[in-house]
Amino acid sequence: MTRRISRETLIKWAPLLVLLALVIFFTALNPTFFSLRNFARIAIAASPALMVAVGVTFIIVMGSIDLSMEGTVSLTAVSFAFIFAQLGGSLAGLGWIAIPLTLALGGLIGLLNGLVHVKLKIPSFMASLAMGFVGTGAAILLTGGDIVKVSDAAFRGLLTVRWLGFPLMVYVAAFFLLVGWFIQTHTTLGRNFYAVGGGEDLAHASGLNVTRVRVTGFALAGVFYAIAAVLVVARIGQAESVTGANFMFVSITSVVVGGVALWGGIGGVWNALVGVLIVNVIDNGMVVIGLPDFLQAGVLGLLVILAVVLSTDRKMLSFVK
Partner 1 sequence: MSTFIKDFIERETISRRNFLFATAAGFGAAAVPGVFGGGTAAAALTDPAIAWSYRDRASAYWNSVVSGGEAFVESLGKPKSALVSLINEGSTEKSLSDIKAFLAKNNGNCAIACDANDSPNARPVVEAVQAAGAYISTIWNKTDDLHPWDFGDNYVAHMTWSDVKPAEETARILFEAMGGEGGVVHLGGIAANNPAAERLAGLKNALKDFPNIELLDAQPADWDTQKGAALMASFLTRYGDKIKGVHCANDNIAYGVIEALRAEGIEDMPIVAYDGNPEAVQMVMDGQLLATVFTNPHWGGGISAALAYHAAIGTFKPSEEPKEHREFYGPTILVTARDAAEFKAKYLDSVPAYDWKDFWGPSNGQIQY
Q: If binding is defined by CB under 8 A, does position 299 make contact with partner 1?
A: no
Q: Which is nearer to partner 1, 211 or 238 (CB)?
A: 238
Q: Which of residues 133-152 bind partner 1 (CB under 8 A)?
A: 136, 140, 144-147, 149
Q: How far is the CB of 256 from partner 1 (least distance, A)?
A: 21
Q: Which is nearer to partner 1, 10 or 287 (CB)?
A: 287
Q: Is 76 helix (H, G, I), strand (E, B) or coil?
A: helix
Q: If binding is defined by CB under 8 A, does position 156 make contact with partner 1?
A: yes
Residues 215 and 181: their CA atoms lie apart, in Å, by 19
Q: Which of residues 268-297 bind partner 1 (CB under 8 A)?
A: 283-284, 287-288, 290, 293-294
Angle ∠(278,283,286) on CA atoms, nearest 5? 115
Q: Among 245, 262, 299, 310, which residue interacts with partner 1 (rule: CB under 8 A)?
A: 245
Is there a contact between 227 and 103 (Cβ–Cβ < 8 Å)? yes
Q: If binding is defined by CB under 8 A, does position 313 make contact with partner 1?
A: no
- Contacting residues for 111 by C-beta, under 8 A, at least 6 apart: 215, 218, 219, 222
- Contacting residues for 4 by C-beta, under 8 A, at least 6 apart: none
Is there a contact between 236 and 209 (Cβ–Cβ < 8 Å)? no
Residue 168 to residues 47, 173, 257, 297, Cα–Cα distance (Å): 10, 9, 27, 31
Site string for partner 1, 218-237 (x = CB under 8 A): --------------x--xxx
Residues 243 and 228: their CA atoms lie apart, in Å, by 11
Q: How far is the CB of 242 from partner 1 (least distance, A)?
A: 6
Q: Among 27, 90, 211, 238, which residue interacts with partner 1 (rule: CB under 8 A)?
A: 238
Q: Which is nearer to partner 1, 161 or 178 (CB)?
A: 161
Report the chain's C-alpha Rg in angstroms.
20
Q: Which of residues 1-60 bind partner 1 (CB under 8 A)?
A: 30, 32-33, 35, 37-38, 41, 44-45
Residue 148's H or E segment, with its range, is: strand 148-149
Q: Among 6, 9, 187, 246, which residue interacts with partner 1 (rule: CB under 8 A)?
A: 246
Segment interacting with partner 1, rule: CB under 8 A, options 17-25, 81-89, 198-206, 242-250: 242-250
Q: Among 6, 9, 86, 160, which residue interacts with partner 1 (rule: CB under 8 A)?
A: 160
Segment interacting with partner 1, rule: CB under 8 A, options 52-60, 221-229, 240-248, 308-316: 240-248
Read off φ and ψ for residue 91, nearest 5 degrees: -65, -30
Residue 223 to residues 72, 177, 188, Cα–Cα distance (Å): 10, 13, 18
Instruction: Classify residue 237 as exposed, middle or buried by CB count within 10 Å of its CB (0-12, 13-18, 19+).
Output: middle
Site string for partner 1, 101-140 (x = CB under 8 A): -----------------------------------x---x
Q: Which is nearer to partner 1, 87 or 242 (CB)?
A: 242
Q: Which is nearer to partner 1, 10 or 297 (CB)?
A: 297
DSSP code of 238?
E
Residues 210 and 194: their CA atoms lie apart, in Å, by 11
Is there a contact between 231 and 173 (Cβ–Cβ < 8 Å)? yes
Number of amino acids touching partner 1 (CB under 8 A): 38
The residues that touch partner 1, with contacts defined as CB under 8 A, are 30, 32-33, 35, 37-38, 41, 44-45, 136, 140, 144-147, 149, 156, 159-160, 167, 232, 235-238, 240-243, 245-246, 283-284, 287-288, 290, 293-294
